[in-house]
Amino acid sequence: MEPAAKSGLARGLIARFLLIGVSIILLRFIYVVTISGGSCASGEFCFFSSSPEVISLPGSGGITRGAAYVRFPDGSAVSPGLHHRWTSREGRKAVDFYSAVFQELVVEGFLSPTAKALCVEPLDGREVLALKEIGVADAVGIAKKKSPPLVIAGDIFHQPFGNYTFDFVFAGCIFDLTRRPATLTDEIVRVLKPEGFVVLLTVSAGDLYSLHSLEDMFSCCKKVRSKEIESPDSPKLLREMVFQKEEAIHNLHHNEEETGKPYSSSVSSLLNKCFTSEHKLQLLRSAEPLIQDEPLKPWITLKENIKHIKYLPSMADISFKERYIYIDVGARSYGSSIGSWFRKRYPKQNKTFEIYAIEADQAFHGEYMTKKGVNLLPFAAWVRNESLSFVVNHEPDKKNEKGRGMGRIRPPAAFSVAISSGDMHTIQGFDFAEWLKSTVTEKDFVVMKMDVEGTEFELVPRLFDTGALCLIDELFLECHYNRWQRCCPGKRSPKYQKTYRQCIDLFSSLRQSGVLVHQWW
């Protein structure tokens, strides 16, 4: 019995030695006044812990934070109101939760008691208090609302700290609340020292897609840990992520660099990575199947198909993207798809989308002037910059009952083809793939609708070749082929030469490459 008790005691001591960093700081910086020996006069900066408690640490005994007043070294006072918030049952529970999180980070070497630490948008300074309680003396918070002395007021997107200021930055659940997670990430990384650690908690990142977006946002850094932990106040699990800033970061404003660099150096290895990402393949496994057999009544089948479409935001959490962008290639009138479908029906998870309408036909340009939030590119999406002849077809067409024409692009070589109906205009075509690469990055969420009257057979291969395809998260593609006509049973449309099989091949090749493409009407 006795030796066993002794060895138990010895183990306890060893456990305490393991926590030596914490203990030293506790001794050094926390002024402990025993209940018999001191008093906590109102207005004095102290924190009363009502009952002895033990914070358990995995595999390392525990720290007893006994019946004691805890006092911080920096001298400034906490208002009685705040004091109350922390000593309330709920406040205490929250502080204890963060203490346990931080102590584990200390044990694992991500947080040192001597670290200069920052908490971003801590509620009432709870996280900062927890840091100080476990002995990280040099801790401060920044939030919209100040809560002295632990939290200063400031803009979290423009923090009043120099580059490379902190060893450790903690972001509680702010990433779930902000609309600009990527901008916040850049700012956090800016104030972080090289090799410093960022720790964040989030209720998102529950699926592969958002986890991947989050990791993309932290491209500055190395992911050192990702795990789920229990939340103090909800049954939902929290994800705790730890990133370490890599030493040689020259440019945190990665937009130009990141899109320029990998594409030019090695398009193929990038494509490989992009095409085999598990988060994309997972979505594709849940997507609606392609309609393999040519529909005999395409005007019905393809329109009906919209009911079966599995939109990406209905399958995955699209948080953690820098910008949300919708590109309508061949936009035609505002009401034809931007107004009637994208704005009304596409599930957006409350995100605000920037909209680009690409439409070469002048007939439609006027109305875009009055549409707020829509950027019109009055050109034709093409595979290089050049003038094109453009046929405005005014034949009545079932697809476009509003009586507006639709454009078919013809490259210069096709000039000689006799045009029997419709007026021919010269328009400016632009290199769509290059434009895409200079306009969006992998950190953006990009939805695209493409209805380009047959030009898809040129544009899509170009998107493959340039790697621009990897920038598209979700694609709604209308493929034009010699379909059966409603007017004239047994007759195929003479407008297009491609067959349904060629369309299916195009869709299949996109899906095989990880692109969530839908057959559009």
Ligand X SMILES: *[C@@H]1O[C@H](CO)[C@@H](O)[C@H](O)[C@H]1NC(C)=O
- Tell the smallest beta-carbon distance from residue 24 to ligand X (Å): 34
Q: Which helix (H) or strand (E) holds 101?
A: helix 89-107
CB 513 within 8 A of CB 277: no
- Tell the smallest beta-carbon distance from residue 211 to ligand X (Å): 18
The residue among 73 and 194 lying less far from ligand X, judged by its C-beta, is 194
387 near ligand X, rule: CB under 6 A? no
User: Cβ-count burial of 225 within 10 angstroms (0-12 exposed, 13-18 middle, 19+ buried)?
Assistant: middle
- Tell the smallest beta-carbon distance from residue 438 to ligand X (Å): 7
User: CA of 217: how far to CAs of 20, 220, 259, 406, in Å?
Assistant: 35, 8, 14, 40
Identify which of 369, 364, 352 has the alpha carbon closest to the alpha carbon of residue 390.
364
The residue among 104 and 434 lying less far from ligand X, judged by its C-beta, is 434
The residue among 56 and 264 lying less far from ligand X, judged by its C-beta, is 264
Q: Which of 190, 239, 332, 343 binds ligand X (CB under 6 A)?
A: 190
The residue among 163 and 266 lying less far from ligand X, judged by its C-beta, is 163
How many residues are there in the chain?
521
User: CA of 256: how far to CAs of 253, 259, 437, 439, in Å?
Assistant: 8, 6, 10, 10
321 near ligand X, rule: CB under 6 A? no
323 near ligand X, rule: CB under 6 A? no
The residue among 385 and 512 lying less far from ligand X, judged by its C-beta, is 385
Q: In this structure, how many other beta carbons lie within 10 angstroms of the beta carbon of residue 89?
A: 8
- Tell the smallest beta-carbon distance from residue 358 to ligand X (Å): 13
Torsion of CA 171, 173, 177, 182, to 10 degrees: 40
Looking at residues 418 to 447 of the shown chain, list those that interact with ligand X (rule: CB under 6 A): 430-431, 434
Looking at residues 202 to 221 of the shown chain, list those that interact with ligand X (rule: CB under 6 A): none
List alpha helices for 108-180, DSSP H.
Answer: 126-133, 174-177
List alpha helices for 467-518, DSSP H.
Answer: 500-512
The residue among 234 and 350 lying less far from ligand X, judged by its C-beta, is 350
- Tell the smallest beta-carbon distance from residue 181 to ligand X (Å): 14
- Tell the smallest beta-carbon distance from residue 121 to ligand X (Å): 19
Q: Which of 152, 208, 252, 302 binds ligand X (CB under 6 A)?
A: 252
Q: Which one-letter amino acid corresponds to residue 455? A: T
- Tell the smallest beta-carbon distance from residue 435 to ligand X (Å): 7
350 near ligand X, rule: CB under 6 A? yes
Report d(CA 323, CA 32) in Å as an integer: 50
Q: Is 73 helix (H, G, I), strand (E, B) or coil?
A: coil
Q: Which one-letter amino acid corresponds to residue 488? A: C
Phi, psi torsion values for 180, nearest 5 degrees: -130, 65
- The sign of the CA dihedral 430, 431, 434, 436 is positive
- Tell the smallest beta-carbon distance from residue 428 to ligand X (Å): 9
Q: Which of 34, 349, 362, 508 binds ligand X (CB under 6 A)?
A: 349
459 is written with which tokens? 């544009």
Phi, psi torsion values for 392, nearest 5 degrees: -95, 110
The residue among 121 and 431 lying less far from ligand X, judged by its C-beta, is 431
- Tell the smallest beta-carbon distance from residue 456 to ligand X (Å): 20
Q: Which of 272, 276, 314, 385 binds ligand X (CB under 6 A)?
A: 385
The residue among 409 and 517 lying less far from ligand X, judged by its C-beta, is 409
Q: Which of 163, 362, 497, 508 binds ligand X (CB under 6 A)?
A: 163
- Tell the smallest beta-carbon distance from residue 163 to ligand X (Å): 4
The residue among 50 and 350 lying less far from ligand X, judged by its C-beta, is 350
Give the DSSP letter string of 330-370.
T--STIIIIIIIIHHHS--TTPPPEEEEE---GGGHHHHTT
Binding site for ligand X (CB under 6 A): 163, 190, 252-253, 349-350, 385, 430-431, 434
